[in-house]
Amino acid sequence: MDLALPPMIRLDNLTLGYDRHPAVHHLSGEIPAGALVAVVGPNGAGKSTLLKGIAGELRPIGGRIVMPALPAGGVAYMPQRGEIDHSFPVSVFEVVAMGLWHEIGAFGGLSRAQRQRVREALSAVGLSGFESRPIGSLSGGQLQRARFARLILQDAPLILLDEPFAAIDSRTVDDLVALILGWHAEGRTILTVVHDLEQVRRHFPTALLLSREPVAFGPTAQVLTPELLARARRLSEAFDEHAPECHIENVAVLPLPAAPAHDHGHGEGHGHAPAHAAHDHRHSS
């Protein structure tokens, strides 16, 4: 039952936030290598903040994020609103080729084989023939496809996607989901913020339900229940400008999807008790 692999991400009493106000509050848990996790929750639940924290863009204000098995530069993070300057004069090919940075660095040229891989990545996202188009001429869906092509070339073991399907038509979403499932089949660890619960149920084996406080983490069917979702909605409320300092030291440990069945997460809740998501089996991956 024990996993030979170390977990990809261990969240250790993690609190992330802005101006001392927590956006992710006392989150603990382990995300196993190779997991495909949908991060769900209401707006303001801390989903993007969690991804930012794991990507290293935001320093925790409490606790730790440990990623023992991750090589340097092993995270590919796609923020929701990139800071992409659409009017910049670069071509689609050049943008996608940026994904090869870890191979070519600041000075290396593109070999013939690497050029071929850029073209293959473009064709994998259905953008063949767009190589020399300026990036500003792409539609929203095409731009998202190009960003995914760049992710393909980044070839990272851990992929963080923040709302990759926002304002994207259904056909593009289907294509992008197929790509994500392909990465999952290759054994990459993927965290994706998704709002469409139907999509989560259909494609994502594991879900993490956040509402600033961690609500549940486990197999999707046991996380996306009406009770837990209602609980998530209740918990998500506005910051209190004069909230007192939080002095919780001990934390609720979220049950793992792959953990052995002896831990029921009891006896440690301090108002942060997680739902008892079942955790007796591991989805095939």
Residue 253: which of 67, 63, 69 has the closest Cα? 63
Q: Which stretch binds another protein (CB under 8 A): 58-66, 99-107, 254-262, 264-272?
A: 99-107
Q: Which stretch binds another protein (CB under 8 A): 76-84, 191-199, 239-247, 254-262?
A: 76-84
Shortest distance (Å) from residue 79 CB to another protein:
6
Shortest distance (Å) from residue 8 CB to another protein:
18
Got the DSSP string for 99-159? Answer: GGHHHHTTTPPPPHHHHHHHHHHHHHTT-TT-TTSBGGGS-HHHHHHHHHHHHHHH--SEE
Number of residues that bind another protein (CB under 8 A): 26
Q: Which stretch binds another protein (CB under 8 A): 90-98, 119-127, 213-221, 243-251?
A: 90-98
Given the complex with another protein, which of 103 and 196 has the nearer CB atom?
Answer: 103
Given the complex with another protein, which of 105 and 267 has the nearer CB atom?
Answer: 105
**Contact (Cβ atoms closer than 8 angstroms) between residue 127 and residue 135:** no
Site for another protein in 215-234 (CB under 8 A): none
Residue 158: which of 187, 194, 121 has the closest Cα? 187
Residue 191: which of 12, 14, 24, 40 has the closest Cα? 40
Tell whether residue 241 is a contact of another protein (CB under 8 A): no
Q: List CB contacts of 52: < 8 A, sequence separation 6 or more.
A: 16, 58, 77, 79
Q: Which stretch binds another protein (CB under 8 A): 81-89, 110-118, 216-224, 232-240?
A: 81-89
The single-letter code of the amino acid at 277 is A
Given the complex with another protein, which of 30 and 155 has the nearer CB atom?
Answer: 155
Cα-Cα-Cα-Cα dihedral of 64, 68, 72, 77, to 10°?
-60
Contacts to another protein by CB under 8 A: 55, 57, 73, 75-77, 79, 82-85, 88-91, 95, 98, 101-102, 105-107, 134-135, 150, 154
